[in-house]
Structures are given as C-alpha cells and as structure tokens.
C-alpha cells in the first residue's frame, strides 16, 4: 500500500535516515522500534508526506507519490506527538473541521459515531482546552480515523492514555487491521507493541538493523533480539569511528 | 468538495476560534484605541486642528492593531501544532493561505468598522461626505495589508522572535500601500476626489500582485 | 581569486585617480560632486546583490540545493553593506551640497526602505528555526522583497512629487571624463562585490564542513561512550 524505498534524509549535517526500505501492507501492523534519535519520527513524517526525503521515494500502490499527494493524503490517518487540535473549539467542532477538510459525506452522523466510539460524546460541546491529556489523545485518535483511512501512522499514540484508554486504542488498531488497513506504530512500550504487531523493525542511527515477524514472539525473546541488534550496531559504529580516526 | 468550499472551511474555523476567544478581538480594538488616545495627547486636538494629519493617524492605529492581529492569527495555529493538521489534510496548500488571508481581512475590517467612527469623534474630524469612497479606500488598503501580512506572519511564526520580526518585515514591504492609502484617504476626507482613481488603481494592482505571489509561494513555506 | 584581488586593487586605484584627479570639477556643485561616482557605484552594486538574492532564492526553492541558500544569504549581507555605503555617501553629499543630512530625497528614501527590507531578511535568516525551513522562509522573503523594489520606488517618487519641490541646483552636466570615471567606479565596485561574495560563500562552506566534522565527532563520541 504505502511504501518507502531507499529513503535517506539529511538534516543540515546529520544523516537522520540512510537508505531505509519499508513497505506497509494491508492487514498488517508494523511496529517500529529504536533508541532516541534513531530516526523513527522522521521516517514516519516522510511516510506521512510531511517531510521530503533527501534521496529515495515514497510509493503508493507501487507508484511514486509525487504529483498526487492530495489523493494519497486522503488515505492517511496520522497521530503524532502534537494533537493538531484547536483548544478554543469544542470536540465536535474539531472533528467537524477535519471532516470538512477531508470532504467526508454525511459528516454529522460520522462525527457523532466517532465521538461515541472514543467515549467523548458526553463532552462533545466542551472546548478541547478544558480536556485532560488523555481525553485529548482519545479525540486525536478519533480525528485520525474519522475519514476512514487505509493507512494509520501512529507516533507514540499511547501518550497520556490511562489503562482503559490503552485497551481502547489496542482495539482500534486491531479492528483497523482486521478491516484490511495498514498500520505503522512507533512505541516505547516493547512488550505491548510486540503483542499487538505482526511485524517488527528495529532502527538504529538511521538504518534498519533487524526486522522480522512478531508471531510466536514473547516479550522476553524480543527483548534479547532488541539488545542484540543494537549491540551489533554498536560494534559496526565503533569500526566506523576507528576508520575515521585513521583518516584523521 | 471544491477549492473554494475548502477555503471557506478554513475561514469558518478561524472565525469560530476568533469568536470563542473574544478577548483577542477586544484587545486588538483596545490597543488601536490607545494609539488614538496617545496621538490625541501628543497633538492635542483641542488646541490644534488635526484635519491635515487625521488620515495618517487613523492608518497608523489600524496598521499597528492589524500587525497585532496577524501575530495572533498564527500563534493560535502553533498551539498543539494545529497548522500541521491542515498540512496533513488533502486540501490545496494555497487554499490554506487564501483561507487565512480571508479571515485576517475580515478581522481587520471588523476592527475598522468600529474604529473609524470612534476616531472621527475622538480626534474631532469634521466629517461630512465621501463615506462610500472612504469605505473603498479602507477595503483596498486593508486587502493589501492582509495579503502580504498573512504571508509574512506565516513566515515569521517559524522564527524565535516572531512578535518583533513581523513588524520589521511588514512595514518596509508595505510602504507603497501606506503611502498610497494615506494619501488617498486624506484626499477623500478633504473632498478632493480628482486624484482618487489613479491611487485606487495603484492599490488594486498592489493587492493583486501581493495576493498572487504568496499564493504561489505558500506551498514551499509549509513543508517541514 | 588572486587575480581577481589584484584586478580589483589596480582598478580601484585607477578609479580613485579618475574620480579625484582626471574628472573635471562640476561647475555648480564643486568638489563634493566627486562623491557621486562612489555613491552611484555603491547603489548599483547593492541592487546587483539583491538581484542575486532573488535569483538564488528561486533556484533554492526549485532545487532545494543548499548552495543556493548560502549564496543568497552571502549576497544579502553584501547588498546591505553596499546599501549602507550608498546611504552614507548620499547623506554626505546632501550635507555638502545642500547643507542638510536627510531631506527625503526620493531615491535615497527608497534606498533606505530597501535597506530595511533586507535587514529584515538577515534577521529572518538568523532567527528562523530548522535548517531547511529557515532556508525556505528566507527564499520566500528574498523573492517577495525584490519584486516589491520597483513598486516601492514608484510609490516613493509619487509621494514626493505631491510635495512642492525645494529649488535645487539643476541637473548635473555630464562631461565625457565624468562618464569614464563613473564607469570605472562601477566596474571596480562590481568586481569588489564578486570578490567578497566568493570569500563569503567559501567561509560558509568551511563552516558547513566544520559542522559536519563536529557531527562525526559527536557520533564517534556516542559510540565510544556506549562501549565504555
């Protein structure tokens, strides 16, 4: 569905991503892990068409996205660090606004449906500024699935959610996958994300260092894999540093 | 949905936000009023006839107040990174600009509708005729201000010192509008309408150019 | 670079000689008129600098190549420098000729507004967040600012024309040698601009490379600390 191929990204003098290939397929949840500064959020932003890669391409159904961004954006649902909500508007108005931007038919019913789903129907007339972080996050999730996207891109979507909220989000993601959607999930919570995902990818210093299937994976065995993957990367990092010293 | 109706969605949202935070419109109005009062103290309308500089005072008050309003218009987009919410949507980047422009324009016009009679009374201007032409001058001047101002405010909102930077950027670039609109307002108020048409044409040309260029450039300004 | 430096130096001496010794004294204004050669040359070079900002800004938005942004920034700095020179020389000339530093002479006034526009451009370059975003924003300003230049010019002329003009010494009588002196001054200033621009761009390149090396050091340091 959505795919990035050979994507690199230079920010000033830092190579944030170096040649990443990542296909997202329908009916799959792909979990993206890595230490801070590995380039996870940048990769997600590139797939969200918010940032252009320095090299490489983003593909939609096998064709480059360039030139038909707005058609592709129609199919993407995004949850990022920021909520993208207006504090001065009510929950209902925020959804209504986004719905109009996406040109959703029969918007009033859809907004009501989503408000029920995220459990904020009772607060629909309250301005978002009065919401707790958890309520805002629920609304953000509602905003992301409002236009029935085919791809969900989630960057630390559990932020601020209580246990109930986390369970709710897990249900949303499972339903989305079962309906044939593709989901990319960035999370710090390894065990939970592994339990949910079908596929994992470990990113370190802008490269994919390990990827594989999440089936039959326990939290413990994945923890070993994660440590090992970063260990190997460390050694190659050192080798690179030593080589640089030789040049100097 | 078409280009226009999506643009109107942005306008609708801005006006809603504006309406909810009434203190914004009010504080801009009060600020403009303060500018008028300061001019009153500085030039003393009791002892002096301020007719000659009335148009200038009026526009200084509007432009200062308008700059304040522009800053605020993009500050509200920065909370929760709300502007990104527009960028991830499938609407045209230029319709984001057009929507923001229209809401800023309407905001300014609302401020001017209140302030024009107030300044006429406050500064004791003997106003008799030419209300229609005066309205046209206000519209044309405000249009140019809102067009280039929206663009510059969007740029300045990405800098560390946007509140200070915006006026620094806006006033030199707006010099042609300031010159033309003050001159033509002065002529209309003075009852001398012979030079009005060329000035209107000049303002209209400026308005078109500085709506069109930001319209084309805006796409590049929104990318991360 | 070396040849350019020598050429600029030699031409500079020739231009000074032509302006101060060879060119005849203007009948009405006398010696102060000799500022004219350097005033016009500064103004010309400033406009050239801003034209380069404009072109480089368009090139940056089209290609996204970093070098265009560096070129635009360097040229804007020099443009502001030469605008300052034009303003100062213009004011000095005004003081000598009419006994007044600043009289809202149309051309000087629009030069002054131009100076303000590009001061704003430099501020933006210095305070904008994010490397690419900063470059794009600056490019937007570089384009819109330059397109405003002729309009500012027109409006200021029009603004002044409505005031009764103070009687001024009449039009300068250009003698052939004066033209030659002006030509040399303009060529010298242009070469000086090109020379300075090259240095400025090179400095920015070196700064870039320094940042790059620092980045490598940082990564190496991170790798080492993880191992330890």
Contact C67, C100 (CB under 8 A): no
Query: Does A35 share its domain with A125?
Result: no
Closest by CA to C125, choosing from C111, C109, C136, is C136
A153 and A121 in a common domain: no
Helix (H, G, I), strand (E, B) or coil at A167: helix
Which tokens go with A27?
């009916």
| Same domain flag for A177 and A243 | yes
**pLDDT given for residue C8 in this prediction:** 84
Six-digit token string for B18 = 């504006």
Closest by Cβ to B158, choosing from C133, C143, C158? C133
Q: What is the pLDDT of residues C165-183, one digit of tens each?
A: 444 544 566 777 788 888 8
If interface means Cβ-Cβ distance under 8 Å, which residues of chain A face chain B? 45, 48-52, 70-71, 73-74, 76, 78, 80-89, 93, 97-98, 100-103, 127, 143
Q: Give the residue, A243 or C52, on which the prediction is more confident.
A: C52
pLDDT score of C27: 67
Domain that holds residue A104: 88-148
Would the CB atoms of C128 and B158 count as touching at under 8 Å? Answer: yes
pLDDT at A247: 35
Write the pLDDT tens digit of every residue in B43-99.
888 888 888 888 999 999 999 999 999 988 888 888 888 988 999 999 888 899 999
Angle between helix B93-122 and helix B3-20 axes, rounded to 10 deg: 50
Same domain? For A187 and A209 the reply is: yes
Give residue A243's pLDDT: 40
In a domain, A120, yes or no: yes
**Helices and strands in chain B, H and E counts:** 8, 0
Q: Which of A31-40, A178-187, B100-109, C37-46 has the lowest mean pLDDT?
A: A31-40
Question: A43 contacts in B (CB within 8 Å)?
Answer: none
Q: Is A11 on the interface with C (CB under 8 A)?
A: yes
Would you call B23 an interface residue with chain A, using a CB distance cutoff of 8 Å?
Answer: no
Residue C162's pLDDT is what? 57
* C152 contacts on B by Cβ (under 8 Å): 172, 175-176
Domain match, A100 and A18 both: no
Q: Are residues A70 and A164 in the same domain?
A: yes
Mean of all residue pLDDT scores within chain B: 89
pLDDT for residue C13 is more than 90: no
The pLDDT of C192-204, averaged and rounded, is 92
Residue C223 to residue A241, Cβ atoms within 8 A:
yes
For range B130-136, the mean pLDDT: 88
The residue among A104, A127, A148 that closes a domain is A148
Confirm if A212 and A199 have CB atoms less than 8 A apart: yes
Q: Which of A148, A180, A199 is the last residue of a domain?
A: A148
Given a cut of 90, whether residue B140 has pLDDT beyond it is yes
- Residues of chain A neighbouring B21 (CB-CB closer than 8 A): 88
How do A199-204 and A182-186 pair as beta strands? unpaired
Q: Which residues of B5-35 are buried (b: 16+ CB within 10 A; e: fewer)?
A: ebbbbbbbbbebbbebbeebbeebbebbbeb
Mark whether A71 and A162 lie in a shared domain: yes
User: Are residues A8 and A68 part of one domain?
Assistant: yes
Contact status, residue C43 vs residue C122, Cβ threshold 8 Å: no
In a 10 Å sphere around its CB, with 0-12 CB exposed, 13-18 middle and 19+ buried, how is residue A118 labelled?
buried
Q: Are residues A64 and A140 in the same domain?
A: no
Q: Residue A90 in contact with residue A128, Cβ under 8 Å?
A: yes
Q: Within a domain: residue A40?
A: yes
Would you place residue C47 in the very low, low, confident or very high pLDDT band (cuts 50, 70, 90)? very high
Q: What's the whole-number average pLDDT of chain A?
A: 85
pLDDT on residue A234: 57
B81 and chain C: CB distance < 8 Å anywhere?
no
Does residue A238 have a pLDDT over 60?
Answer: no
Question: In this model, does residue A90 exceed pLDDT 90?
Answer: yes
Task: Indicate the DSSP class of residue C99.
Answer: S
Interface contact B1-A76, CB threshold 8 A:
no
pLDDT > 70: percent of chain C: 90
pLDDT bucket at C227, cuts 50 / 70 / 90: low
- Using N-to-C axis directions, what is the helix angle for C106-127 and C131-161, rounded to 10°? 170
What residues of C are in contact with residue B165 (Cβ under 8 Å)? 120, 123-124, 127
Which residue, A238, A190, A231, is CA-closest to A214? A190
Residue A248 has pLDDT above 50, yes or no: no
pLDDT of A129 > 80? The answer is yes
Domain limits of chain B?
3-222
Question: What pLDDT, on the 0 to 100 scale, is given for residue A244?
Answer: 40
The set of chains that have 3 or more CB pairs under 8 A with A is: B, C
Of A128, A148, A168, the position where a domain reaches its end is A148
Question: How far is residue B15's CA from residue B13's CA, in Å, rounded to a whole number?
Answer: 6
Is the confidence at residue C110, as pLDDT, over 50?
A: yes
Segment B126-147 mean pLDDT: 89
d(CA A62, CA B33): 60
Q: Give the number of residues written for chain A.
A: 248
More confident residue, A111 or A196: A111
Asked if A142 and A230 sit in the same domain, the reply is no
Average pLDDT score over residue span C90-103: 85
Region A94-113 average pLDDT = 92
Taking a C-beta distance cutoff of 8 angstroms, is the pair A29, A180 a contact?
Answer: no
Q: Pick the range with the lowest mean pLDDT from B167-171, C61-65, C139-143.
A: C61-65
Q: Please count the structural domains in chain A.
A: 2
Q: Is the pLDDT of residue C52 over 90?
A: yes
Q: Which candidate from A12, A14, A234 shows the least CB-CB separation from C227?
A: A234
Contacts of C208 in chain A (CB under 8 A): 13
Task: Tell me, yes or no, whether A36 and A95 share the same domain.
Answer: no
**Residue A15 sits in a domain of what CATH number?**
3.40.50.300
C215: which chain A residues are within 8 Å (Cβ-Cβ)? 13-14
Q: Per-residue pLDDT tens for A179-195?
A: 999 999 998 888 788 88
Average pLDDT over residues B137-161: 92
Residue A211, in any domain of the structure: yes
User: Is residue A81 situated within a structural domain?
Assistant: no
- Asked if C141's CB is within 8 angstroms of B176's CB, the reply is no
How confident is the model at residue A183, as a pLDDT?
Answer: 93
Nearest by CB: B220 against C61, C114, C158: C61
Q: Which of C131, C219, C224 sits opposite A12 (nearest CB)?
A: C131
Q: Which chains touch C (3 or more CB pairs under 8 A)?
A: A, B
Same domain, A161 and A179: yes
Helical pair C35-63 and C106-127, crossing angle rounded to 10 deg: 40
Rounded Cα distance between C24 and B40, Å, is 55
Q: What is the pLDDT of residues A178-236, one digit of tens each?
A: 999 999 999 888 878 888 888 889 888 888 888 888 777 777 777 778 877 777 655 55
The pLDDT of B174-200, averaged and rounded, is 88
Chain A residue whose CA is closest to B12: A97
């Amino acid at each position: 569905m959505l795919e990035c191929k050979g994507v690199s990204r230079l920010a000033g003098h830092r190579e944030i991503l170096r040649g990443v290939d990542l296909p997202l397929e329908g009916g799959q949840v792909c979990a993206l892990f890595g230490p801070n500064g590995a380039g996870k959020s940048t990769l997600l932003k590139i797939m969200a068409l918010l940032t252009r890669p320095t090299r490489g391409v983003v593909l939609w159904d096998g064709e480059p996205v360039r030139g038909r961004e707005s058609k592709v954006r129609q199919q993407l649902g995004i949850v990022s660090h920021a909520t993208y909500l207006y504090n001065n508007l009510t929950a209902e108005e925020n959804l209504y606004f986004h719905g109009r931007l996406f040109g959703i038919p029969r918007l009033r019913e859809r907004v009501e449906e989503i408000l029920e789903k995220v459990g904020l129907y009772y607060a629909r007339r309250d301005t978002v500024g009065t919401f707790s972080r958890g309520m805002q996050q629920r609304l953000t999730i509602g905003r992301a699935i409002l236009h029935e996207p085919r791809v969900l891109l989630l960057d630390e979507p559990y932020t601020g959610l209580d246990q109930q909220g986390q369970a709710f989000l897990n249900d949303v993601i499972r339903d989305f996958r079962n309906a044939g959607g593709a989901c990319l999930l960035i999370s710090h919570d390894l065990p939970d994300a592994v339990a949910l995902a079908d596929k994992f990818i470990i990113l370190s210093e802008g490269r994919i260092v390990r990827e594989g299937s999440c089936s039959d994976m326990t939290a413990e065995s994945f923890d070993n894999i994660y440590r090992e993957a970063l260990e190997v990367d460390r050694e190659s990092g050192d080798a690179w540093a030593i080589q640089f010293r030789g040049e100097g | 949905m078409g280009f226009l109706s999506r643009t109107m969605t942005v306008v609708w949202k801005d006006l809603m936000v504006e309406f909810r935070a009434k203190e914004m419109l009010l504080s801009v109005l009060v600020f403009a009023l303060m500018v008028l009062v300061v001019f009153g103290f500085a030039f003393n309308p009791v002892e002096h006839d301020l007719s000659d500089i009335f148009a200038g005072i009026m526009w200084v008050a509007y432009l200062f107040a308008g700059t304040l309003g522009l800053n605020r218009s993009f500050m509200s987009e920065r909370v929760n990174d709300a502007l990104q919410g527009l960028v991830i949507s499938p609407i045209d980047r230029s319709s984001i600009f057009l929507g923001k422009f229209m809401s800023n324009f309407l905001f300014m016009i609302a401020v001017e509708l209140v302030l024009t009679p107030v300044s006429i009374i406050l500064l004791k201007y003997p106003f008799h005729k030419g209300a229609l032409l005066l309205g046209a001058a206000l519209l044309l001047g405000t249009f140019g201000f809102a067009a280039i101002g929206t663009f510059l405010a969007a740029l300045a909102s990405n800098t560390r010192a946007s509140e200070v930077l915006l006026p620094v950027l806006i006033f030199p670039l707006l010099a042609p509008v300031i010159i033309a609109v003050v001159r033509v307002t002065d002529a209309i108020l003075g009852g001398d309408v012979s030079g009005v048409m060329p000035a209107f044409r000049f303002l209209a040309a400026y308005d078109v150019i500085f709506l069109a260029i930001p319209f084309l450039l805006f796409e590049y300004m929104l990318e991360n | 670079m070396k040849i350019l430096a020598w050429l600029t130096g030699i031409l500079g001496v020739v231009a000074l000689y032509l302006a101060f010794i060879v060119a005849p004294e203007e009948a009405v204004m006398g010696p102060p008129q000799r500022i004219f050669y350097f005033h016009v040359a500064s103004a010309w070079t400033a406009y050239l600098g801003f034209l380069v900002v404009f072109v480089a800004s368009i090139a940056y938005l089209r290609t996204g190549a970093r070098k265009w942004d560096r070129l635009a920034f360097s040229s804007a700095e020099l443009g502001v420098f030469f605008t300052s020179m034009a303003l100062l020389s213009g004011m000095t000339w005004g003081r000598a000729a009419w006994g007044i530093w600043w009289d809202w002479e149309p051309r000087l006034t629009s030069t002054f507004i131009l100076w303000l526009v590009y001061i704003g451009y430099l501020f933006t370059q210095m305070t904008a967040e994010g490397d690419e975003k900063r470059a794009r924003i600056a490019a937007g300003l570089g384009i819109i600012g330059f397109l405003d230049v002729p309009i500012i010019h027109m409006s200021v002329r029009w603004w002044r024309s409505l005031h009764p003009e103070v009687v001024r010494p009449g039009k300068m009588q250009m003698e052939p040698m004066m033209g030659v002196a002006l030509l040399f001054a303009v060529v010298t200033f242009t070469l000086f601009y090109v020379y300075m621009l090259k240095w400025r761009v090179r400095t920015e390149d070196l700064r870039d490379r320094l940042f790059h090396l620092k980045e490598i050091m940082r990564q190496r340091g991170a790798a080492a600390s993880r191992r330890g």
